[in-house]
Chain A
Amino acid sequence: MKTTTPSKLEKILAAGHLAVTSECGPPRNGRADVVEHKANLLKDHVDAINVTDNQTAVVRQCSLACCIRLRLMGLEPVLQMVTRDRNRIALQSDLLGATSFGIHNILCLTGDHQRFGDHPGSTNVFDMDSTRLIQTIRQMRDEGRLLGGYELSEGRPRMFIGAAANPFADPFEIRVLRLAKKVAAGVQFIQTQCIYNMEKFRLWMQLVRDEGLHEKVAILAGLTPMKNVGMARYMKNRVPGIDVPDEIVKRMGGVPKEQQAEEGIRICLEQIEELKQEQGVRGFHIMAIEWEEKVPEIVERAGLFPRPKVNGAQ
Chain B
Amino acid sequence: MIMAKPKPIDEVISEINHFDSILVAGCNGCVSVCEAGGLKEAEILASSLRIYFTKAGSRKQIDEVSVTRQCDKEYLRELEERMGEYGAVVSLACGAGVQLMAEMYGAKPIFPGVDTCFVGVTEQHGVWSERCQACGQCILASTGGICPIARCSKRMLNGPCGGSEKGKCEIGVLLNRDIPCGWHLIYERLKALGQLHRFGVPSDDKDWSGSRDGGPREIIKEESRP
Contacts and interface: CB of A to CB of B under 8 A. Distances in A.
Interface of A: 113-115, 120-124
Contacts of A122: 208, 213
16 contacts: A113-B215, A114-B213, A115-B209, A115-B214, A115-B215, A120-B209, A120-B214, A121-B205, A121-B206, A121-B207, A121-B208, A121-B209, A122-B213, A123-B208, A123-B213, A124-B213
If over half of A's interface residues share one DSSP class (helix, strand or loop), that class is named, otherwise mixed; here it is loop
Nearest to B208: A123
A121 B135 CA distance: 12
A48 B190 CA distance: 58
B211 interface: yes
Name, among B205, B207, B213, B215, the residue most crowded by chain A CB atoms within 10 Å (CB to CB): B213
Nearest to A119: B205
Contacts of B215: 113, 115
A123 B157 CA distance: 14
Interface of B: 205-209, 211, 213-215
B198 to A, nearest CB: 22
Given A115-B214, A123-B208, 12 more contacts: A113-B215, A114-B213, A115-B215, A120-B209, A121-B205, A121-B206, A121-B207, A121-B208, A122-B213, A123-B211, A123-B213, A124-B213
Contacts of A120: 209, 214
Nearest to A122: B208
Contacts of B209: 115, 120-121
A122 B212 CA distance: 11
Name, among B206, B207, B209, the residue most crowded by chain A CB atoms within 10 Å (CB to CB): B209
A124 B207 CA distance: 12
Contacts of B206: 121
B109 to A, nearest CB: 21
A114 B212 CA distance: 12
A48 B22 CA distance: 57
Contacts of B213: 114, 122-124
B207 to A, nearest CB: 4
Contacts of A121: 205-209
A271 B205 CA distance: 46
A113 B214 CA distance: 9
A115 B213 CA distance: 9
Leading 3 A-B pairs by shortest Cβ distance: A121-B207, A123-B208, A123-B213
A200 to B, nearest CB: 27
A121 B207 CA distance: 4
Contacts of A124: 213
Contacts of A115: 209, 214-215
Nearest to B205: A121
A124 B209 CA distance: 10
Nearest to B204: A121
A182 B214 CA distance: 26
A275 B136 CA distance: 49
Contacts of B211: 123
B174 to A, nearest CB: 15
A113 B215 CA distance: 9
Contacts of B214: 115, 120
A121 B213 CA distance: 8
Nearest to B206: A121
A123 B209 CA distance: 8
Contacts of B208: 121-123
B71 to A, nearest CB: 26
A123 B212 CA distance: 8
Nearest to A126: B213
A124 B208 CA distance: 9
Contacts of A114: 213
Name, among A113, A114, A123, A124, the residue most crowded by chain B CB atoms within 10 Å (CB to CB): A123
Nearest to B155: A123
B216 to A, nearest CB: 12
Nearest to A120: B209
Name, among B206, B211, B214, the residue most crowded by chain A CB atoms within 10 Å (CB to CB): B214
A114 B206 CA distance: 14
